[in-house]
Structure 1
Amino acid sequence: MEKVAGESVRLLDKPAAAAGSPSLSSAGAVFIMLKSALGAGLLNFPWAFNKAGGIAPAVLVELGSLVFLVSGLAVLGYASSLSTQSTYQGVVREVCGTAVGKLCEVCFILNLFMISVAFLRVVGDQLEKLCDSIYPNGTLSGEGPSLQHWYADQRFTLSALCVLVIFPLSVPKEIGFQKYSSILGTLAACYLTLVIVIKYHLQAESLGLREPPHPSRASSWASMFSVIPTICFGFQDGVPCALQCHEACVAIYSSMRNQNFSHWVAVSVLSMLICLLIYSLTGLYGYLTFGEDVAADILMSYPGNDAVVIVARLLFGISIVTIYPIVVLLGRSVVRDMWVNPKRGAVPVAEAHEQRTRVVLTVSWIAATLAIALFVPDIGKVIGLIGGISAFFIFIFPGLCLVCMMGTETVGPRKRAALLAWGILSVLCGAFVCGQSTAGAAMELLHRA
């Protein structure tokens, strides 16, 4: 690191990294970033607008979060180029030291594994609700599960989906492959937003539209902090249901053809602005349509036999499926670093061995998360309790990287002081969000008990 600092590396003019053959286009990077951020938490945003106390406080939290989100992406891209590492945990280990790197690895794999379980739970719920729409006499009529067809059972449909769709999408080595499914997944998520907006304008009377409540200023400011976990990393019923693009951003940056820092910042800003638009429209129009009666899953607020809503549920399930392979890819990288390749870079790995290891890790990851999602009924409570770990990857680790880099980078005293202050603020905000999320999940758990 001292050598890098002595040479005064200027990332604004730095060419692409020489290692590997990065081939991901800027458009592909934007779509993967979008897909990483557009998780099942999108269904939860209208409810978050209501819980925040109205439109104004919810939008204020969104805008404040956007500053930290873009800042974290920029810092991680800079740190990746500076450290020449291609994984999130590798960047943190190289920039912040071995101890922080180990903490990052543990948090990373725990967070990714629980997100995988949460994704499969969400997909399973969507499949079950879809089957309810197709076979109403079996599951919706209250006549019991005896009338349910075996091929409509969640254990069969979710297992088949994992074998036929998720596994083939998860096996590829590079994240650049995910750009194709990410385009489909992003469009599917946009369809949900479009449905909510159109139904607000064209079917207001049939849905019983009324003016949304106008909470007091005090109640709005008091409640807006409670939705920060939902706004920042997509909580749904206390469960983190959105893979934050920060976990994937280092892999995305390392796969891009153009790794110029200013270009990376432009890609990050564009991705976050599009996410802001999609999330805001969904939250705004869903809240305007149903007000205080909005369900935690916005699709549950609409009639279950509405064909447009059924299609939205199907497409949104596809959207979630396209995120899962990105989680598997990132999880494999951590497992290789921690257990498969403990001596990092000491011995070149043969292609055949790498392929076998990748397939084994993929099968093991999918099988373990599928088994937990299907057969552990109370796992959602555990996921909610540890969901605050997500704040480490958005706030704390980027903040620590920025602080550590200021000890080696050659910058002016004023700029150094400002960047140090921002890094410390990011760490403190992350600690607050993590603590608030964990405390909220614990209180919810106690309340349900």
Structure 2
Amino acid sequence: MEELARESIRSISLLSRPARGSDVPRLGSFGAIFIMLKSALGAGLLNFPWAFEKAGGKTIVTLKMSLLTLINLVGLVILGYASSISRQKTYHDVVREVCGQRIGHLCEICFVFNLFMISVAFLVVVQDQLDKLTGNTEGEMPYHWYSDHRFALFVMCLFIILPLSVPKEIGIQKYTSSCIYIIHSSLISVFFWVICNRLDSWASMFSVVPTICFGFQCHEACITIYSSMENKKITHWVFISVTSMIFCLIIYTLTGVFGFLTFGRQVASDILMSYPGNDVVMIIARLLFGISIITIYPIILLLGRSVILTQILRFWERRAIITSVFESRCRLILTILWITVTLLIAIYIPDMSEVISVIGGISAFFIFIFPGETLN
């Protein structure tokens, strides 16, 4: 895989602009597809079996997912085209350039809030798995403060997530992309092994739309990925988008069907929580999925942090000269605040479905509304 480009969020490149003619490594086709999949596949995977149960069965949800996949593809192509004509390299910059300042500011607010809530959802997922691994849910082990899942989550944020999130560039994430697909394949295999063919009655169709929107959402990162590509032809971008969405549809459908058929009405909003904590296969699955989430979290944080940092640098630029030390301190402070607040919220959120319902509603802006506005 070719080297990942320098941080594609060029809105904070006030401090370091590469000289013309300098060799900047770009993304190839495989790299772009991997990063697209990594942006889309995450905590939503665990929620899809619950969505199948809520909607009343595998057939109706699969049809709805197929329809929304087509809509997602249209949105991705529109965003790539808007990026090419506006020559902007982030989602919110494209919307501001094409739709005007007011819609651009609204997009930035929705962008940051959505990424913030996604970060919360990721930590909730990790906390659930830690709760199962420590045996707190079933009361299998005596309680000790150092074995509490909340303390373990804090240590993980401090020593793993924080160091991965502080760097200005996202190049380190290319080394962790391949583990995502191994993890998801493992989870699908687990559901297949324990399948028991239990069906459910019809229920509300529209209750699962937020889950589907959340699961297929990679629109915030798509322009960043497009801007980092070596080949920026629209036809090539269509190929990247179609390939990524097909893989997403297959993985989410298989996970939702196998999880739904396994547990039926008893399926939890986090499918891994439906399995016992002492199952060896599921212990491995929890560990792998935790690693997956930990490697995705820094990308989400970087995208959200860039918007806030850009506004701070623009404001400060009117008063004084921006130095690299000042920029580094602001980036570190924003990173610590982001992780701290999301950690505190995640500790007190009891149900992942509540977080995803909020995220899915906001995701509709990035999947349906803002891409449509760029056509006006």
Q: Normalising by the residue count of structure 2, what TM-score does the alignment of the two structures yield?
A: 0.85
2:37 counterpart of 1:34:
yes
Question: Given residue 53 of structure 2, which amino acid in structure 1 is its aligned partner?
Answer: N
Give the 3 Å change call, closer, same or farther, for CA 342–269 of structure 1 in structure 2: farther
Matches within 5 A, 1:30-429: 30-132=33-135, 140-141=138-139, 147-200=142-195, 209-213=196-200, 215=201, 219=202, 223-234=204-215, 244-342=217-315, 350-374=323-347, 384-385=357-358, 387-403=360-376
Q: Which runs of 5+ in 1 are unaligned?
A: 1-16, 133-137, 201-208, 235-241, 404-449
- Which structure exhibits the higher relative contact order, with contacts defined as CA atoms closer than 8 Å and separated by 6 or more residues? 2
Distance 1:142 1:175 in 2: 40
Instruction: Describe the superposition over 1:70-117 as per-residue Cα deviations: whole angstroms up to 9, x where unpaired.
Output: 111111111112111111111100010001001101111111112212
Q: Deviations over 1:404-426 (max 9, x none)?
A: xxxxxxxxxxxxxxxxxxxxxxx
C-alpha distance in 1 between matches for 2:70 and 2:156? 37
Q: Secondary structure at the match of 2:238?
A: helix
**Counterparts of 2:27 and 2:323 in 1: how far apart (Å)?**
24
Contact 1:211–1:291 under 8 Å retained in 2: yes
CA distance in 1, matches of 2:44, 2:159: 25
CA distance in structure 2 between the aligned counterparts of 1:379 and 1:303, rounded to whole angstroms: 18
Deviates more, 1:303-312 or 1:392-401: 303-312
Identity of aligned residues (%): 57
CA distance in 2, matches of 1:56, 1:39: 23
When residues 211 and 365 of structure 1 are mapped into structure 2, their CA distance, relative to the original with a 3 A threshold, is closer
Aligned residue pairs total: 357
* CA pair 344-191 structure 1, distance change in 2 beyond 3 A: farther
CA RMSD of aligned residues (A): 2.9
Bigger drift between 37-46 and 333-342 goes to 333-342
CA distance in 2, matches of 1:20, 1:117: 37
Deviation at 1:344, TM superposition (A): 8.9
Q: Secondary structure at the match of 2:276?
A: coil
Shift of 1:372: 3.0
Supply the distance in 2 between the matched residues of 1:121 and 1:47 (Cα, whole angstroms).
16
Task: State the shift of 1:187 in Å.
Answer: 2.3
CA contact (8 A) 1:193 1:281 kept: yes
CA distance in 1, matches of 2:111, 2:197: 44
Shift of 1:190: 2.5
Counterpart-to-counterpart distance in 2, 1:90 and 1:346 = 23
Q: Which runs of 5+ in 2 are unaligned?
A: 1-19
Measured at CA, do residues 350 and 263 of structure 1 come closer, stay the same or move farther in structure 2, by a change above 3 Å? farther
Q: Give distance in 2, aligned partners of 1:255 and 1:279.
A: 27
